[in-house]
Amino acid sequence: MTRRWIAALIVLALTAIVYPQAPARAADEATTVSGTGEFADLKVTVSQTSNLINQVVSVSWTGGKPTVDTSVYLDYLQIMQCWGDPVTGPDRTQCQYGALFTDTRGGTWTGSRQVSYGGIFGEGWTDPNEPIKPAPGENAFVPFASVTGGTVTAGNGGEFFDASTTNEIPYGRTLANGTGQEFFEVQTGTEAPGLGCGEELADGTARPCYLVVVPRGETEINGSTGDKRPHNWLDTSPLEATNWANKIVVPLKFQTIGKACPIGSAERRTVGAEAMTEAMLRWQPTLCAGTSATVYGYSQVTDDIARTRLAGTDPGMIFVNSPAAPAATTNPQVYAPVAVSGLTIALNLEWQSGFDATDEERLREGRRLADLKLTPRLVAKLLTQSYLSGADLNRTTIRGNPQTISSDPEFIQLNPDFAKQLNLPIGDMLVPLGQTDLATRLWQWILADSEAKAFLTGSPDPWGMKVNPVYASQSWPQDNFPKSDLYCIALRADDQKDHDWCTLDMHPYANNMHDTARYAARGDTLVRNATSRDAVGAVIGWKKGAPQAPGKRAVLAVTDVATADRYGLPMAQLRNKAGAFVAPSTASLVAGVTTMTQSKTVPNVLEPNPASTNAAAYPLTTVVYAGTVPAAITAEAGADYADLLRYAAADGQTPGVHPGTLPYGYAPMPEALRALTVRAATQIQENAGKVPTPAAVATTTPVGGGSATGVPAPAKSTAAAAPDTGDKPSLAVPAATPTGHGSPVPVAQTNPTPGHPVGNLRYALIVALAVGLAAALAGPIFLLRAGRARRGGR
């Protein structure tokens, strides 16, 4: 069979992919524990309890009594993370709780570690089971005992945790039907050094920890009920001995942090863009445990920095969203697809009832909202400081614009439920600092929409909102998220003097997309509004404020799909060129791949096509490519990088939470892309360290350009072909059953998201493909080889 026939079959295979029913997350990763005593009917389920990294898990429950009122007076759950003895479990002194003591929605001391009560509401309250007694004239607190041996006796976490870093949830509401759900960030010893979860113990295992739920009912520590107290709500700490006795404990098992590969193993350097980070770091433990025991060191860099390495004397292997421009060199670059994911707008929005909300609507108080529709123009507004709260409320150049997106008529028209809520304080989004190809993709999607392009270049929307004029004259697209309106306003600090409070104080950058997602999950906008002082008490600048309170969060963030999934964040439905609103899912990402067009200059590479009218396609899909220059690396390095690519094309595409599997948030690559990856691996291995002949360089060009369906044709090359195996490509991504549960918002869903049908694309051209294969499969395709594997974590 000629290479042209092979190219034709791969084109047909990718065009006719049966979009996989993405594997549901394994139920055996979830753990359910029942309450005791008065809470015996309460059953709490944690969505994932093993192979944990720093991530978000779902904590859901049934059998609870409905929470009283929107102010959380009675009947709620208090959730925290603790370390403790592997046999006896945690002691209350080992729990990260009390940093949010100023949040008194559930009662005066319910958010604290304090166990002595004075004043008009607490006088005379005594817990008969409480051994900690206050000294005369002082308050008593449950101390925090760190895993490191340090102890904090005051009513906070001291140097171990504070309001900005804690993961505690002081008030988890129960709905009228007895159910509830919260999204809890489990932290490793890196994020919570006082807990030390996941740190390697003397026996080589990872330190386990615990998720602890303290249910609260209607009875206080002295047995009094609402009709016997001065007011009808609770007031005491969950760490009070009587309250602590009702705790529900769920063991948590972590991957070992800081030990992905054995020390002293051979290392092959890789660097790459952030869209590859989740996959690469989770593949590492399995890759270095293979037969070659090679450690693939990984450094996250920008796409631009990664591309510049290819021009050096030791390029190693890079990962990018877009290839380097073809260089005038006798040493050609080779690219291979390794992952399918995308850029997304992640949400942490919780229902906050408006003043005229009905009783039914108030029952949704504090519940997370998962559905949000955004047009390219709305995203452009958020990224250009065009809402008043995204800039200065007194800014004359945008006077008349809505204060926030939730007061924008365009937004309310698409998302009418937000008209029933308070005006959520969203005027912009958390965005990453620095260059990324994914920013370019987002701006290209905006510019492909005529309404958004007109707004971005100065035309008002139908309701009269206009772009911040600082952005109207800029060149687009850009490869970053500029904050171009660098204004300052005078703000009174705690020294009672006015100080400049500027754009980057009010709307700071996050370091990267990982941080945008993690901070969004915490309800942290990174705003700096508290003052810091020097040694003599003079104000010297602004410092970061506290995150939004649980149940009161309203944050949007630009991040990659895999990281949004890791931190349990729902993702916005974005309008594509066909007018359909589509959220990231396995089906919509693979559909996004089929809209791409073959690069006219770089073999094996697809280019995004924002003008595609495929209604099923997610518009910000990306394919991540590995790249190297075979002639500039050694034969040994070529063999190692080829092994990495073969792994990426095979077991590295199995979704799951175990080391070595594909993190949720990536779509398993279609077989046609995997075949290109294996072919590139063979080319790299066979040509590593060899200076190619002029003829070989001249004939490394794409075959046939693109196609009407935008699928790739392999490059025609004089490099050695893949072995003739006689195997034929699969029609679908392998339906591997995952061995674990990632986070509560899977990209891989059992069914497509309602309202975003894949439709008959599942079956498109299958008959034609079958006929083509029957007629032509007399020659070779490519055998994908790799051992069974597990997944790693970051």
Same domain, 369 and 507: yes
Q: Which pLDDT does position 142 carry in this prediction?
A: 96
Tell me, what DSSP letter sits at residue 297?
E
Task: Pick 322 or 156 by higher pLDDT.
Answer: 322
Tell me the residue ranges of DSSP E strands in 371-509.
373-374, 488-492, 498-502
123 confidence band (pLDDT: 50, 70, 90): low
Distance CA 517, CA 566 (A): 9
Q: Which pLDDT does position 708 carry in this prediction?
A: 32
Which residue among 231, 254, 277 closes a domain?
Answer: 254
Same domain, 636 and 772: yes
Q: What's the mean pLDDT when you consider all of the chain?
A: 82
Q: Which pLDDT does position 487 carry in this prediction?
A: 85
> Contact at 8 Å (CB) between 83 and 242?
no
In a domain, 788, yes or no: no
Which domain, by its residues, includes 552? 344-574
243 confidence band (pLDDT: 50, 70, 90): very high
Chain segment 669-698, per-residue pLDDT in tens:
999 999 999 999 999 999 999 987 665 554
Same domain, 223 and 208: yes
Same domain, 633 and 498: no
Q: Which pLDDT does position 263 carry in this prediction?
A: 64
Q: Is residue 624 classed as helix, strand or coil in its secondary structure?
A: strand
The predicted model gives 347-373 an average pLDDT of 86
Chain segment 25-46, per-residue pLDDT in tens:
555 589 999 999 999 999 999 9
Q: Which pLDDT does position 775 carry in this prediction?
A: 31
Task: Pick 314 or 758 by higher pLDDT.
Answer: 314
701 confidence band (pLDDT: 50, 70, 90): very low
Residue type, 600: K
For the purposes of burial, counting CB atoms within 10 Å of the CB of 24, is it exposed (0-12), middle (13-18) or buried (19 or more)?
Answer: middle
Q: Which pLDDT does position 294 carry in this prediction?
A: 82
Helix %, strand %, coil % of the chain (to 5): 25, 20, 55
359 confidence band (pLDDT: 50, 70, 90): confident
Q: Which has the closest alpha carbon to 17: 772, 776, 762, 655?
A: 762
Which residue among 548, 574, 600 closes a domain?
Answer: 574
In a domain, 763, yes or no: yes
Chain segment 300-345, per-residue pLDDT in tens:
999 999 999 998 899 999 999 999 988 756 689 999 999 999 999 9
| pTM for this model (two decimals) | 0.83
Q: Which pLDDT does position 752 carry in this prediction?
A: 32
The predicted model gives 335-361 an average pLDDT of 90
Which residue among 232, 254, 276 closes a domain?
Answer: 254
Q: Which pLDDT does position 397 carry in this prediction?
A: 82
In a domain, 784, yes or no: no
Q: Which two tokens stand for residue 223?
A: 């047995």
Q: Which pLDDT does position 21 carry in this prediction?
A: 35
Determine the distance from the C-alpha atom of residue 395 to the mean position of all C-alpha atoms in its chain, rounded to a whole number.
34
In a domain, 350, yes or no: yes
What's the total number of domains in the chain?
3
From 494-503, 577-586, 624-633, 733-742, the region with the lowest mean pLDDT:
733-742
The predicted model gives 375-381 an average pLDDT of 98
Same domain, 334 and 352: no
Q: Which has the closest alpha carbon to 685: 648, 645, 712?
A: 645
In a domain, 601, yes or no: no
Q: Which pLDDT does position 766 carry in this prediction?
A: 30
Distance CA 70, CA 56 (A): 25
pLDDT at 229 over 60: yes
From 74-88, 549-563, 642-656, 718-732, the region with the lowest mean pLDDT:
718-732
597 confidence band (pLDDT: 50, 70, 90): very high
Same domain, 414 and 309: no
Distance CA 157, CA 317 (A): 43
In a domain, 589, yes or no: no
Same domain, 510 and 534: yes
Percent of the chain with pLDDT over 70: 80
pLDDT at 495 over 70: yes
Q: To the nearest 10°, report the CA torsion of 479, 485, 489, 491.
A: -20
Q: Which pLDDT does position 7 carry in this prediction?
A: 39
Q: What is the CATH number of the domain that holds 333?
A: 3.40.190.10
Same domain, 673 and 627: yes
pLDDT at 600 over 80: yes
pLDDT at 780 over 80: no
Same domain, 156 and 304: no
Same domain, 383 and 451: yes
List C-alpha distances in Å: 521 to 95, 323, 516, 555: 21, 32, 9, 8
Same domain, 357 and 506: yes
For the purposes of burial, counting CB atoms within 10 Å of the CB of 337, is it exposed (0-12), middle (13-18) or buried (19 or more)?
Answer: buried
Residue type, 745: V
In a domain, 173, yes or no: yes
Same domain, 487 and 629: no
Dihedral angle sign, alpha carbons of residues 325, 331, 332, 334:
negative
